[in-house]
A and B are shown apart, each in its own frame.
Chain A
Amino acid sequence: MSSVQPVVRVEGLTKDYGPVLALDSLTLDIGEGTTGLVGANGAGKSTLLKILLGLVPATSGRAEVLGHDVEEEGPQVRATVGYLPEHDCLPPDVSASDFVVHLAMMSGLPRLAARERAAEVLRHVGLAEERYRPMGGYSTGMKQKAKLAQALAHDPRLVLLDEPTNGLDPAARDEMLGLVRRIGHDFGIAVIVTSHLLGELERVSDHVVVLDAGRLLRASRTDEFLDATGTLLVEVLGEDAQGRMATALATAGIGVRERGSALSVDLTGSGPDVRDVVRDAASDLGLGLVRMQADHRHLEDVFAEQPSDGRPADHAEEVPRD
């Protein structure tokens, strides 16, 4: 990623709606792969997407998408970007097939190519026979798939997905997240996806950008958010297994506390490798060692640590320019 041009480059971007400062000197680069855009309602996510599409002019600062300045080259940007809006956008009396063909043509594809592309993307998103039925009769999951299909119809280099899992039941949500992942990883299309459910972004994004009141709170790789916490999760089976193991480890001078059905073991102390100690203790006590893994945090834990007064955290200064 370091050698290629970023997909999105934003410098000092400010959008002042008068009573509301939607974006406040936002500076940020977004690269290939899947990037999650997180923030509460009103954090500036939608405004940022609209500016990136060249629809809303910024008050100051500039934004580039795929090397095109969004204000001066809006049409070029929109020709290579796909957009899935958060709200409903499907006419009920048209079939998904006709609709996607039409919108592919609206992105500049000739009719024949548009037909082929529509059939292909509808297959990829998993709309089979129902593609020939009017979309008014679709379930929410099918509607979201149709919306995704139109965003992909013209083979964009970047797709902006605004809350693609909104209103979906768990099974449909899993399917949609799987699709988002495939777009970013297998289709080779850069993805910017917004969601207010952090667990979802954790599963699909390579990078996470956090906006708060129009400012950048943090931008980094998802795995950096989820750094190992320096503890080991250990789960053992047997009579009073957790208690006996905890006692044994405490005797060996290792910090340990119960965490649900497992033990959280401190890895930071000096001395012999804690993993060896755990293994030996389990063996000595005759317990079945069923799990021993590094304890990762969840995105939610990261946000719980962010300052609540809206000040940008120190991380904001270290926005990776990769």
Chain B
Amino acid sequence: MTDPSAATPEGRSVIHDLGYRPYTGPRLGQGAIARSLVGTGLRNAFGLGRSGRSKVLPFALLALNLLPAVIVAGVMVLVGLDSLPIGYAEYASTTQVLVGVFVAAQAPVLFSRDLRHGTIALYLARPLGSGTYALARWVSLLGATLVFLVLPVLVLYGAALLSELDVAEQTRDVAVALGLVVLLALSLAGVAGLVASWSTRRGFAVVATIALLLIANGIVTAVQGIAGAEGRPRIGEVTGLFSPYSLYRGLMSAWTGVEAPTPPASTGMELAYVAVLVGLSAACLGALVLRYRRVATS
């Protein structure tokens, strides 16, 4: 048996037989830590890595959201239609309630939970700064929202290709739809994330986000409908700036030709729609970063 007192070359006695081994392996930088946080957040947003119960809602919503696309794809392939019965971009507009509920329900998983249970203190005591933390959480939510929005588009695209529709045309339409969907996801993740970061109670965050997204959209749609019927589309155009969904719908109508009430009629207005969507997302993200800076120093 070796002499424990000679455990090191210097002969210093270091063996306590307590089994505590210091960690000598690599320590990753902030980029890798942030990527890991984004990955975990993305999984958590779908209930993965959490209790079985928390998987029910996100996957139920995802299944509901995919169901029409799968049915359409089945019909396309079996019956052999010569065009898709629903446009790629139009799909998200049709299932906007599901998207809204998904974002509203899952944003608190990423934002409210850490604040409510005080876990945020443990994150802030680690290398990531508060701003990077907020950014990583937002990226997780954005990713989850994109998965939700992009999957049906891909299912429809697959069906279109299987039905031997024109590949170039379909690919171009899908690209436009993906651009639109990214704009929508950016703003939805921003709004829902910001609301959730101000609420430690999940229920409040869910209700507030749904109210903001869906009720605002309802009001805007009503005003647009009246403006269109009264022959004053300009009012409808401007009103469309006040909700992410109406912004999406307006741009979709302008870019894909799908009919929508009072779409932006000029290039200037289209740019304004894009600017508001991007600006809203940036403003929400900035507010999120500020919010977590305050949490860190309070």
User: Is chain B's binding surface mostly helix, strand, loop or mixed?
Assistant: loop
Residue B122 is within 8 A (CB to CB) of chain A in the complex: yes
Q: Taking the nearest CB of chain A, how far is it from the CB of B39, in angstroms?
A: 10
Q: Please name the residue on chain A nearest to B40 by beta carbon.
A: A102
Q: Taking the nearest CB of chain B, how far is it from the CB of A53, in angstroms?
A: 5
Complex Cα distance, B22 from A109, in Å, reads 13
Residue A132 is within 8 A (CB to CB) of chain B in the complex: no
Total residue contacts A-B, CB cutoff 8 A = 108
Please determine whether B297 and A92 come into contact, CB atoms closer than 8 angstroms.
no
Q: Taking the nearest CB of chain A, how far is it from the CB of B38, in angstroms?
A: 12
Q: How many residues of B contact A (CB 8 A)?
A: 38
Please determine whether A75 and B127 come into contact, CB atoms closer than 8 angstroms.
yes
Complex Cα distance, B8 from A129, in Å, reads 35
Please determine whether B297 and A186 come into contact, CB atoms closer than 8 angstroms.
no
Q: How many residues of A contact B (CB 8 A)?
A: 44
Please determine whether B33 and A110 come into contact, CB atoms closer than 8 angstroms.
no
Given contacts A78-B126, A103-B126, A182-B18, is CB(A85)–CB(B27) below 8 Å?
no
Given contacts A53-B125, A55-B296, A94-B50, is CB(A113)–CB(B23) below 8 Å?
yes
Residue B223 is within 8 A (CB to CB) of chain A in the complex: no
CB-CB under 8 A from B25, the residues of chain A are 109-110, 113
CB contact between B297 and one of A55, A76, A91, A110 (< 8 Å): that residue = A55
CB-CB under 8 A from A107, the residues of chain B are 27, 33, 126-127
CB-CB under 8 A from A150, the residues of chain B are 122
Residue A292 is within 8 A (CB to CB) of chain B in the complex: no
Residue A42 is within 8 A (CB to CB) of chain B in the complex: no
Residue B172 is within 8 A (CB to CB) of chain A in the complex: no
CB contact between B22 and one of A55, A76, A113, A188 (< 8 Å): that residue = A188
Residue B204 is within 8 A (CB to CB) of chain A in the complex: no
Residue A88 is within 8 A (CB to CB) of chain B in the complex: yes
Residue A225 is within 8 A (CB to CB) of chain B in the complex: no
CB-CB under 8 A from B26, the residues of chain A are 110, 113
Residue B49 is within 8 A (CB to CB) of chain A in the complex: yes
Q: Please name the residue on chain A nearest to B22 by beta carbon.
A: A155
Please determine whether B119 and A75 come into contact, CB atoms closer than 8 angstroms.
no
Interface of A toward B, CB cutoff 8 Å:
53, 55-57, 74-76, 78-79, 81-83, 85, 87-94, 98, 102-103, 105-111, 113, 117, 120, 123-124, 134, 150, 154-155, 182, 186-188
4 smallest beta-carbon distances between A and B, as pairs: A155-B23, A83-B125, A89-B118, A108-B27
